[in-house]
Structure 1
Amino acid sequence: MASVRQIQITFDCADPERVARFWCDVLGYVVPPPPEGFATWDDFDRALPPERQGSAFACSDPSGVGPRLFFQRVPEGKVVKNRLHLDVRVGTGLMGEERLAALEAECTRLVTLGAVRVRLLPADGIDESCLVMQDIEGNEFCLD
């Protein structure tokens, strides 16, 4: 049997620190400490060649359970729907109106952080309702 491996989820984006801090707020993640020898991430960033400054940022689950999220600057913008997205699980175990209330409450919180509500996918007899949203750079994710 293969051993379980840790994963990192990588986002291509225009502003890595801004997007990383958004996801820290969404998920309760934290910015890890800067590399040894640097008091802050800004100090580390200033030590990089100019073309690499601001090119990457990360956040991690403070409990160490969830995957690390890594954000890297790319020159092109988002053009089409994501092939992969995150489901933020806020309605687990809830059904009907109770589930919708939990999704709507979290949607309201995330909109104040800069997220955009796209559409509600209503329960269909097989799957429960979920909300499709976009992060601050237009990447889709679901409140599930």
Structure 2
Amino acid sequence: MALHWKLVIDTSDAPTLADFWAAVLGYEVEDQSTLIDQLLAAGQIDESVVAEHRGHRTFRGFAAIRHPDDPFDRNTGIGQGRRLLFQDVPEAKTVKNRLHIDVHAGTDGLDALVERLESLGAARVREFDKGPAGHWWAMRDPEDNEFCAAG
């Protein structure tokens, strides 16, 4: 039986990094305002765990994005398919990722992809050209998490 999963990424600013990755992947930022309002009304949480980002209530220190074609719970806003969860942690990133995302260029090609990623806040690190084995850029997101942009 296949399992549901999400990739959790430690951050210093979860909503901002969620916005970046949603733009990179064409995903949707989850809107959990309805769930938060229900929990507040029931007294299950208080305002100290709630923040606002781009006009929506969010759980302080958390944000998630989901693939736009995957199912999601309309009552909670939580995706039930391909999903990335960003969570704020107190410590800064100090070493290379042990896991990273590869973003593949579409019909516009690698150069256009890399330029678009840079316009969103990514930075080029190193280019790799292995001929028939592939051509890609190692890059960093706005919080210095490594990822690859591949042709």
3-state SS of paired residue (1:18): helix
3-state SS of paired residue (2:27): coil
Residues 31 and 119 of structure 1: CA distance in aligned 2, closer, same or farther (over 3 Å): same
Q: Aligned-pair distance for 1:37?
A: 5.1
Q: CA RMSD in A?
A: 2.7
3-state SS of paired residue (1:79): coil
Q: Give the strand-richer structure, 1 or 2.
A: 2
Residues 122 and 76 of structure 1: CA distance in aligned 2, closer, same or farther (over 3 Å): same
Residues 46 and 20 of structure 1: CA distance in aligned 2, closer, same or farther (over 3 Å): farther
* Alpha-carbon separation, structure 2, partners of 1:30 and 1:37: 17
Q: Which runs of 4+ in 1 moved over 2 A?
A: 35-39, 45-50
CA contact (8 A) 1:24 1:59 kept: yes
Please, what TM-score do these two structures have when normalized by structure 1? 0.78
Aligned length: 128
3-state SS of paired residue (2:116): helix
CA contact (8 A) 2:64 2:84 kept: yes
Identity in percent:
37
Unaligned runs of at least 5 residues, structure 2: 38-44, 51-57, 72-80
* Alpha-carbon separation, structure 1, partners of 2:82 and 2:35: 25
Q: Deviations over 1:85-110 (max 9, x none)?
A: 0011226xx9xxxxxx7111101011
Aligned to 1:19: 17
* Alpha-carbon separation, structure 2, partners of 1:109 and 1:131: 13
3-state SS of paired residue (2:29): coil
CA contact (8 A) 1:15 1:54 kept: no
- Residue 81 of structure 1 aligns to which amino acid in structure 2? K
Aligned to 2:74: none
CA contact (8 A) 2:11 2:87 kept: yes
